[in-house]
A = this chain, B = another copy of it.
Amino acid sequence: MTKLIGNLVFGQSGGPTSVINSSAAGVFLEALAHPDVIQNIYGMRHGIEGILRDELFDIGREDRKELEYLMGTPSSILGTCRYKIASPDKDETDLRRIHEVLAKRNIRYFFYNGGNDSMDTCLKVKRYLEAKEYECRVIGIPKTVDNDLYGTDHCPGFGSAARYLATSIAEVWHDARSYRTPMAIVFECMGRHAGWLTGASALAGVIGHGPDLIYLPEVPFDIHRMVEDARKVLEKRNVVLISVSEGIRTEDGALVAEQLSSRATDSFGHKQLGGVAALLANQLADQLGLKVRGIEFSLLQRCAAHAASGVDIEEAVLAGRSGVKAALQGTSGVMIAFNRPAAEPYRCEITHVPLGETANKEKTVPREWINSAGNYVTQAFIDYALPLIQGDPYQAHENGLPRFARLKKILG
């Protein structure tokens, strides 16, 4: 192995999570431990756009303590983006610019933290630099609350969002059950194509306070069947709790949210924006004649660091640290991934997935982890997800409020 001396850059991309900054902490703290090889550590301002604009923060000028506070700070501290660089066969401008900035700054370690698209970015960067014979080790760090990344047992960000959802639903269960009044509550969880987060609602059921019905985007949704399912639950008790993915679709592939909301227009003739939870709750009110609530977890579920999973935080840090260690040992062109060697006891091993195998693919919930009626997840799903929400969050408090990392973010 050649000892590749140079600088490191790390960027965050796509939708934030509660622990994306934990991976940042992992990368930064590990990189700082190797000053003989990694000289300067940079953070991309708003992901790959930070490279294109040559706007990089000098992480070496941050206080170490503040970098540790990143483990209790949600969202993308460096800024994120959704920029997708062009394919080099169509337009080389972006890649040429990336090469130019990396070379100018002698950056030899390129780290990018994100989902499918980000792995695609990593792959393009790696191939381009190789073609230009610029030596640079490219590592993808996985991240997504949706847990839909291919090639890894699970993904940093998912466990924390899952824990937040399960905790919140268990609490609302108590609220709803304290009345005699018949009521339906529809929870809306993130997930356009993959129902991992919505399925995680079932974890609240482990302590007996979960939803009665769960509908994932993996199974075609039928509103009449949902109403009938709810009616059956209401024969046994006065409250029905339902979790749905934002991305549920009918048999013909249309988004339920769009179908229902297209029927409603405001006074200006615009389509009413409206989450699928509120829309389905309206339908239940109409058809079952009871009190309803639609609760959309919206951004809350992906940034609730105050309810993060300790396991998720540790693994997010581990992904970052392992990535740096691997790169120092010569690895390049991979995404850091997790493997679970056995169902029990839970243990998480680091593996490397070639970028080409993970980029632009999506992992949905296996059909066999959803019950045959398509209205709940199976025990196998719960056994999979429960270990991922263990351990307390790392959020410190000051004045009754979270003590977030205060980075200086000095452009360097």
Q: A194-225 toward B: CB 8 Å interface, digit per residue (1/0)? A: 00000000011011010000000000000000
A307 CB–B CB distance under 8 Å: yes
A299 contact set on B, CB distance < 8 A: 172, 175-176, 185, 293, 295
A306 is an interface residue with CB less than 8 A from chain B: yes
A411: CB under 8 A from chain B?
A: no
Report the Cα distance A75→B299, complex, angstroms.
24
User: In the bound complex, do residue A171 and residue B74 qualify as a contact, i.e. CB atoms below 8 Å apart?
Assistant: yes
Q: Are A386 and B404 in contact (CB under 8 A)?
A: no
A278 contact set on B, CB distance < 8 A? 273-275, 278
Q: Contact string, A27-53, partner B, CB cutoff 8 A, digits 1/0?
A: 000000000000000000010010000
B285 touches A273 (CB 8 A): yes
Given contacts A168-B304, A274-B272, A278-B273, contact A16 B174 (CB under 8 A): yes
> What residues of chain B lie closer than 8 Å to A185, measured between beta carbons?
299
Least CB separation from A389: chain B residue: B400
A266/B263 contact (C-beta < 8 A), A174-B73, A400-B390, A401-B389 known: yes
The distance in angstroms between the C-alpha atoms of A401 and B81, with both chains bound, is 33
* Chain B residue contacts of A274, Cβ below 8 A: 272, 274, 278
Complex formed: what's the CA distance from A79 to B73 in Å?
37
> Which A154-194 residues have C-beta < 8 A from chain B?
163, 166-168, 170-172, 174-180, 185
Interface centre among A73, A166, A273 (most CB of B within 10 A): A273
Task: Flag A60-95 by CB within 8 Å of B: 1 or 0 each.
Answer: 000000000000011111011110000000000000
Q: Does A286 contact B (CB under 8 A)?
A: yes
> What separation, in Å, do the CA atoms of A293 and B398 have in the docked complex?
28
When distances are taken between beta carbons in the complex, the residues of chain B under 8 Å from A392 are 397
A295 to B175, CA, bound (A): 19
Q: Name A residues whose Cβ lies closer than 8 Å to a Cβ of B.
A: 12, 16, 46, 49, 73-77, 79-82, 163, 166-168, 170-172, 174-180, 185, 203-204, 206-207, 209, 260, 263-268, 270, 272-275, 278, 281-282, 285-286, 292-296, 298-300, 302-307, 309, 311, 386, 389-392, 397-404
The 7 closest A-B pairs by CB, nearest first: A263-B267, A75-B174, A389-B400, A76-B178, A390-B400, A175-B303, A171-B303
